[in-house]
């Protein structure tokens, strides 16, 4: 299987069952659009021809910025079929300021080398000015192309011949690993990496022909793109795709799709368990039946036991099997999964002494009241290896706490056009993840980030970005800002906290300043949960002369009077 290209695999799946569902495009209040395998591949091939006519060449990076649309899928596949490289980027959130969006596109263009952008006419005023100041050669609006036109057979034969020249080692896609838009790291993956990953990961989740995936996950993220899109297309089973923006407004949509389609597997970030338990009401669940679900896989954040408990209590009355909840540890750099819990068994839990963890040490205890409950992310899947290392990357003994290092047959080769960042994380075939965790009884427990990245609802927030934004707010002393994350058990995710120095002393003016800070960060898609206004020279500096996040977080915990409500 790994000696093939993705297009060859798609073609074989189509030949086996041309009239079976490939993708079920779900829209609230509408009948789902059902892509049969044969129709999907034919439309993808037509897109390849139209792309070629528009000057797209092999190995060029084609960014896709398109909302939830049934033509997204064949467009993406058509880019692959041409030998070009699709890169799915986030459609701008209505709250995101156009300048912030433009800066992100420029940053990714410079780093990733974007050649073309495929988008909607609505974004033309925002994106078109970037053509002269970036690597972008042009904009295209493929949703407006005429797909009813006939493509001459000679033209299609030429494409088929060119497709045969694509090798399994050639790149198939470019995805961007963690970070806010301008700082994202471009990960280039090959056909063989994706196919091998599907082969090994499908074994770990016991994937079968009767399975059906359901997902609202954005396709610019590895969980959505690999697990919920490439995996089912490569394996040859259906995937139900829900609009992420619609899901946020009405999370019951996913449960309705599960009920209607008898879906069996989905992946969720940890925050979604809390959101669905809290925001889906009884009157919305009258016709919901979750008995078909055999795996609800918690991925992308440290797994929280409380989130699982709440999800089970909420949805077991609606047919959910409590043993369906599973866990996974994954990242873009390894295509997707590194570990996976065993299907049909509740993920294991252990208790780690909370105070010892704060000191960077691991001590397992029996008393949960004094501990952090650590949920296993499962066993290492076939084709991967995991070791725990210390500060000097020396391998630590079993049950030790340290950085998680990973080897994988589907490992990326390095961040595209980013050698300095690649050198930081790749060495002798091992990827140093920056995640802290430990191994016990052959299972991996992920407990947090080595660095200060804040994970909010599945999204990584760099404190530096928040600090830069807040420093520009009128009333804040520039450069005298600290941002950090704290766990919010009620939300099931981290929230961003800001400490900002100011000369303002009047309490009413402090409240106004807090509102300006909240508005500024919201405009930059860096939603802040708590703001502390402190007097000048309050922040503690490190030995390097920079404000220390750890020390200031500890100090603010002791002095709550600076919180502006």
List pLDDT tens digits, range 35-58: 999 999 999 999 999 999 999 999
The total of other beta-carbon atoms located within 10 Å of residue 290's CB is 19
Alpha-carbon distance 223 to 268, whole Å?
A: 8
Angle of helix 270-279 relative to helix 305-315, nearest 10 degrees, comes to 40
Q: What is the pLDDT of residue 293?
A: 98
Q: What is the pLDDT of residue 183?
A: 55
Distances (CA, A) of 374 to 338, 446, 447, 536: 18, 8, 7, 39
Q: What is the pLDDT of residue 543?
A: 41
Q: What is the pLDDT of residue 436?
A: 86
- DSSP class per residue in 471-514: HTSTTSPTT-EEEEEEEETTTTEEEEEEEEE-S---HHHHHHHH
CATH top-level class of 347-449? mainly beta
Alpha-carbon distance 483 to 524, whole Å?
A: 15
Which residues of the chain are modeled with pLDDT < 70? 1-2, 95-96, 178-183, 300-301, 358-360, 460, 541-547, 560-565
Whole-structure pTM value = 0.84
Tokens read off for 369 = 């009241």
Alpha-carbon distance 495 to 509, whole Å?
A: 24
What CATH fold (topology level) applies to the domain 454-562? GMP Synthetase; Chain A, domain 3 (3.30.300)
- Pick from 246, 244, 254, 219: nearest CA to 233: 219
Q: What is the pLDDT of residue 527?
A: 81
Determine which helix (DSSP H) or strand (DSSP E) holds 553, and give its type and residue range.
Answer: helix 549-558
267-340-22-16 Cα dihedral, nearest 10 degrees = -170
Alpha-carbon distance 121 to 231, whole Å?
A: 31
Q: What is the pLDDT of residue 397?
A: 83
Alpha-carbon distance 479 to 471, whole Å?
A: 6
Residue 59 Rama label (left phi>0; alpha psi -120 to 50; beta): left
Q: What is the pLDDT of residue 3?
A: 87
The alpha carbon of residue 416 and the mean position of all alpha carbons in its chain are separated, in whole angstroms, by: 18
> 20 burial class (0-12, 13-18, 19+ CB within 10 angstroms)?
middle
279 phi and psi angles, rounded to 5 deg: -105, -5
Q: What is the pLDDT of residue 470?
A: 93
Q: What is the pLDDT of residue 180?
A: 38
Architecture of domain 6-249: 3-Layer(aba) Sandwich (3.40)
Q: Where are the domains of the chain?
A: 6-249, 347-449, 454-562
Query: 259-273 burial by CB neighbour count: b if 16+ within 10 A, else e?
Result: bbbebbbbbbbbbbb
């Amino acid at each position: 299987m790994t000696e093939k290209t993705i297009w060859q695999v798609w073609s074989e799946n189509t030949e086996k069952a041309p009239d079976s569902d490939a993708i079920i495009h779900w829209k609230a209040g509408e009948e789902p659009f059902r892509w049969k395998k044969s129709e999907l591949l034919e439309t993808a091939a037509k897109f390849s021809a139209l792309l070629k006519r528009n000057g797209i060449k092999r190995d060029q990076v084609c960014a896709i910025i398109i909302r939830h649309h049934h033509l997204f899928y064949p467009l993406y596949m058509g880019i692959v079929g041409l030998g070009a490289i699709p890169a799915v980027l986030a459609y701008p959130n209505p709250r995101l300021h156009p300048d912030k969006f433009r800066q992100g596109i420029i940053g990714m263009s410079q780093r990733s080398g974007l050649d073309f952008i495929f988008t909607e006419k609505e974004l033309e005023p925002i994106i078109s000015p970037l053509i002269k100041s970036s690597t972008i050669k042009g904009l295209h609006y493929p949703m407006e192309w005429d797909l009813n036109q006939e493509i001459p057979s000679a033209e299609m034969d030429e494409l088929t011949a060119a497709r045969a020249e694509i090798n399994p080692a050639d790149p198939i896609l470019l995805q961007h690993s963690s970070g806010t838009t301008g700082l994202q790291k471009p990960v280039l993956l090959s056909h063989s990496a994706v196919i091998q990953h599907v082969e090994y990961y499908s074994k770990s989740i016991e994937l079968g022909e009767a399975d059906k995936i359901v997902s609202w996950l954005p396709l610019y993220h590895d969980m959505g793109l690999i697990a919920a899109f490439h995996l089912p297309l490569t394996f040859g089973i259906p995937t139900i795709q829900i609009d992420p923006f619609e899901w946020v407004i009405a999370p019951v949509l996913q449960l309705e799709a599960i009920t209607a389609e008898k879906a069996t597997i989905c992946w969720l970030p940890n925050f979604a368990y809390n959101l669905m338990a809290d925001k889906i009401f009884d009157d919305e669940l009258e016709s919901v039946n979750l008995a078909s679900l055999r795996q609800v896989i918690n991925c992308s954040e440290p797994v929280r036991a409380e989130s699982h408990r709440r999800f089970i209590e909420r949805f077991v009355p609606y047919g959910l099997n409590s043993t369906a909840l599973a866990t996974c540890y994954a990242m873009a750099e390894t295509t997707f999964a590194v570990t996976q819990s065993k299907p049909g068994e509740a993920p294991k839990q252990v208790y780690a002494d909370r105070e010892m963890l704060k000191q960077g040490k691991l001590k397992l205890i029996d008393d949960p009241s004094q501990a952090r409950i650590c949920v296993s992310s499962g066993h290492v899947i076939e084709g991967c290896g995991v070791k725990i290392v210390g500060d000097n990357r020396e391998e630590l003994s079993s049950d030790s706490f340290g950085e998680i290092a990973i080897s994988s047959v589907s490992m990326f080769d390095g961040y595209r056009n980013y050698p300095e960042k690649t050198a930081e994380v790749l060495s002798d075939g091992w990827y140093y993840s920056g995640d802290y965790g430990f191994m016990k009884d052959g299972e991996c427990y992920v407990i947090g980030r080595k660095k200060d990245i804040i994970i909010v609802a599945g999204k990584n927030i760099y404190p530096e970005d928040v600090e830069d934004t807040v420093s520009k707010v009128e009333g804040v002393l520039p450069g005298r800002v600290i941002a950090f994350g704290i766990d919010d058990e009620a939300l099931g995710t981290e929230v961003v906290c800001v400490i900002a120095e100011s000369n303002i002393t009047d309490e009413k003016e402090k409240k106004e300043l807090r509102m300006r800070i909240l508005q500024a960060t919201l405009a930059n898609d860096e939603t802040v949960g708590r703001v502390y206004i402190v007097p000048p020279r309050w922040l503690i500096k490190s030995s390097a002369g920079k404000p220390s996040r750890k020390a200031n977080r500890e100090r603010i915990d002791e002095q709550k009077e600076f919180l502006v409500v």
